[in-house]
Structure formats: C-alpha cells, structure tokens
C-alpha cells in the first residue's frame, strides 16, 4: 500500500501518529506493507502509472488540498481498474476543485463544529470495517458534515441519526448524516471514514480495527 500523507492545505498533527499506526497494522495483520508518500517529490515519483504499478492500493490519511498528482485522471483510472482506495478524515477535504476525485470518493467535506461525542449507527455489519463495532459505535472526534446525503450512491457503514452537538445549526436535531461508507469505483473498491482527526483516536484499538477492516475490504481480502 502507498500511504499518502502529503498536504497542501491544513495539516493534521495526527498524521504523525497515523503513519506508524498504519504501518504497524499492515505488518501485524500481514495484510500489506507500507511505502510512504510524504512530499511533492514523492507524489511525482509514486503517483504516476509507472509508479503505481508496484502497489495494490493507496491510503489517503488526512490529506488536504490539491496534491499535485501529475495525471489525476490516470490515477482514477488505476483505481477503477481494480485497485484499492482508502481515505480517512480529511481525504474528503482534498481536491475540492476536482469533481472527478470527489465522485470517486463519494462526497465532499463541507464544515465541522466543535469536537464532540456521537453514537454512530452501524448500517452494514457484514463489512469488516464495522463488523467489530456491534450495532453502534460511540466515539469522540471532530465530526464532519458533508455537502450531500450520499446514501443512494454508496454503501453506508456508519451514519448519525441526529446532527452532532457541535455548536453548528441543527445541533441535536434528528437527521441522516454519513460518517463512513464503501463503494465500488469501476472494479476498484473505495473505503472512506470521516473519523480520524484526533491523535487519541488513532491510538485507539477499536478505531484501528475500523480502519484496518476498511482497508481489508478495499483490498478484497476478507
């Protein structure tokens, strides 16, 4: 797996925790080995058709902004040809200027309020990203709100039945808000979770199993 942590917008401090956690999860599970993509030079080196040839999938761990992928269309075709894509948290705050990327991902970050505790409903318990969680998942994090409700375009994994108590409009009101999902993109598999802002969450074993399960699904190695 190619682990992309390069950013051109806001840079999450939790990236420094996410990198060793993801590398260790891949090693301990035997599911993948990790190559890091941390700089603009790394993007130009690895995120080309020839550079991607050695990888089975890519993780965008809290990326932001326009990453400068030399040929974004070629990258998306690589995913659609049967490769894995996994994105955490601000992977949806990446490439706001490229609707084709957002179509692949499944939605676009809109805004967030204060960090808060939520109880997410597990929608597809057969998916390994949420299979260990039971029927609900209580978690404290920065909770994203998205541009749309994408229920008709993805397989929902985690959703909120009420708006988070985050200080924004509609806080606490009933709703239907996406939090994590899976989808096919051509013959490729896409997993995304909006969770992962806080260092403490990346250190949490339950969250780690959520992300590892999503990567496992994206790699079709259940």
Running along the chain, 222 residues long, what does each successive block of 10 average in pLDDT? 97 98 98 98 98 98 98 98 98 98 98 98 98 97 98 98 97 97 98 98 98 98 86
Predicted pLDDT of residue 222:
79
Report the topology of domain 2-218.
Rossmann fold (3.40.50)
Structural domain spans, the chain:
2-218
Predicted pLDDT of residue 177:
98
- End-to-end Cα separation, the chain, in angstroms: 16
Instruction: Render the chain in DSSP notation, one character per residue.
Output: -EEE---SS---TTHHHHHHHHHHHHHHHTS---EEE-SHHHHHHHSSHHHHTT-SEEEEES--B----TTHHHHHHHHHTT-EEEEEGGGGGB-TT-HHHHHHHS--EEEE-S-EEEEEEES-TTSTTTGGG-SEEEEEEPPEEESS--TTTSEEEEEEEE--SSSSTTTTSEEEEEEEEEEEETTEEEEEES---SHHHHT-HHHHHHHHHHHHHHTT--
Predicted pLDDT of residue 111:
98
Predicted pLDDT of residue 27:
98
């Amino acid at each position: 797996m190619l682990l992309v942590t390069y950013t051109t917008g806001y840079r999450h401090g939790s990236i420094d925790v996410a990198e060793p956690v993801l590398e260790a999860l891949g090693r301990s599970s035997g599911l993948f080995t990790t190559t890091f993509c941390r700089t603009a030079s790394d993007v130009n080196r690895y995120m080309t058709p020839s550079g991607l040839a050695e990888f089975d999938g890519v993780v965008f761990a809290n990326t932001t902004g326009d990453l400068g992928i030399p040929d974004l269309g070629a990258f998306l075709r690589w995913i659609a040809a049967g490769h894995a894509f996994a994105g955490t948290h601000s992977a949806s705050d990446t490439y706001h200027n490229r609707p084709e990327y957002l179509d692949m991902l499944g939605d676009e970050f809109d805004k967030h309020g204060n960090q808060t505790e939520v109880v997410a409903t597990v929608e597809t318990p057969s998916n390994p990203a949420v299979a260990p969680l039971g029927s609900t998942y209580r978690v404290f994090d920065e909770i994203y709100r998205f541009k749309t409700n994408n229920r008709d375009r993805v397989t929902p994994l985690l959703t909120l039945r009420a708006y988070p108590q985050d200080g924004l409009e509609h806080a606490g009101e009933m709703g239907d808000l996406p939090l994590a999902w899976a989808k096919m993109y051509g013959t490729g598999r896409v997993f995304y979770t909006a969770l992962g802002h806080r260092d403490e969450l990346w250190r949490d074993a339950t969250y780690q199993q959520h992300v590892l399960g999503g990567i496992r699904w994206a790699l079709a190695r259940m």
